[in-house]
Structure 1
């Protein structure tokens, strides 16, 4: 390197081959800056980032991305353990409960058929019960279809929970026990409808 004085700025010269000069010109044209400015910015970049120009794969970036990926996976696992597993457990419990209701209705229906043979007046009641059972089974089919996706169930449960919390937080000290019981009843009914 040799020093040259040009005004108040001290300049240095670096010699490099023609192939490197062509690459430098392409970079400067692409960036729309003078070669001297691009070179100074390259030196500043490597000085600040403490990166080795030979490290083309950029291990620091890879390590940062890996760490963020691990953090993201950890977050997902935490959400799964804290939210999805308890929700699935409750959904399974509700499904078993609804199956018991259907079994009860089916047993009640068989019982009613025996009673109908004895008393024809009960026929209208049996038809109504059968219609109710069909509606309940249709509702259960709809519920089963809505339980097919975890995201939909999670969103519905979150909405019910947020509505409950928002309403509960809106209660003052003068809120009656009847209003509180009504909130609990409505919330339980919404959860039963999931």
Structure 2
């Protein structure tokens, strides 16, 4: 066996307990853990005394900028056009509802006006019809009176008085014409 060049490091016993615990959790010997730690700090060029780890912060900041730019791109490509389209659709819907309401209200007013006119004309027609029916009944009654008077007077005249019969006929015609 070759003999390795081995150096020793002295450190406090409390640090040895922490080193034991970390080595046990990672399944490494203390020596292998120490080698890995040295390699890690050597490759990453991290300062072990810098607890805030600026490289990690820079990595997070870069990721954050990437996510932010992705979200802004999506906003420009998708969200803003969708919002504009929805706003336009809502505006169009409002215009349609407004136009519909104006048309319906206008049509309803026209229909109501026409119904009122029709109702008043119907009432006038009913009054006129009542007068016609009433007038018809009066006309019938007057005509029957004239006819009865004619029949009675003709019976009284007898058969030989032609001039008086002519006068009676003429008188009855005038009365019927005056109805």
Q: Same fold (TM over 0.5)?
A: yes
Deviations for 1:136-194, whole angstroms, at most 9, x for unmatched residues? xxxxxxxxxxxxxxxxxxxxxxxxxxxxxxxxxxxxxxxxxxxxxxxxxxxxxxxxxxx
State the match for 2:127 in structure 1.
none
Name which one, 1 or 2, has greater alpha-carbon Rg. Answer: 2
State the match for 1:36 in structure 2.
31
The runs of at least 4 consecutive aligned structure 1 residues that moved more than 4 Å come to none
| Map 1:101-120 → 2, pairs under 5 A | 101-117=96-112, 118=114
Residues 1:54 and 2:49 aligned together: yes
Q: Secondary structure at the match of 2:74?
A: helix
Q: Which protein, 1 or 2, shows the higher relative CO under an 8 Å CA cutoff with sep ≥ 6?
A: 1
State the match for 2:84 in structure 1.
89
Q: Tell me, in whole angstroms, the C-alpha distance in 2 between the residues paired with 1:103 and 1:65.
A: 53
Residues 1:12 and 2:15 aligned together: no
TM-score scaled by length of structure 2 = 0.58
Q: When you count strand as a share of all residues, which structure comes out higher?
A: 1
Q: When you count helix as a share of all residues, which structure comes out higher?
A: 2
Residues 1:26 and 2:21 aligned together: yes
Q: Give aligned pairs, total.
A: 115
Deviations for 1:8-45, whole angstroms, at most 9, x for unmatched residues? 43322222222222221222122222111111111111
Q: CA RMSD in A?
A: 2.0
Q: Tell me, in whole angstroms, the C-alpha distance in 1 between the residues paired with 2:109 and 2:18.
A: 94
Which of 52, 65, 71 aligns to 1:76? It is 71
Gaps of 5+ in 1: 1-5, 121-194
TM-score scaled by length of structure 1 = 0.53
Q: Secondary structure at the match of 2:48?
A: coil
- Cα deviation for residue 59 of structure 1 reads 0.9
Q: Secondary structure at the match of 1:14?
A: coil
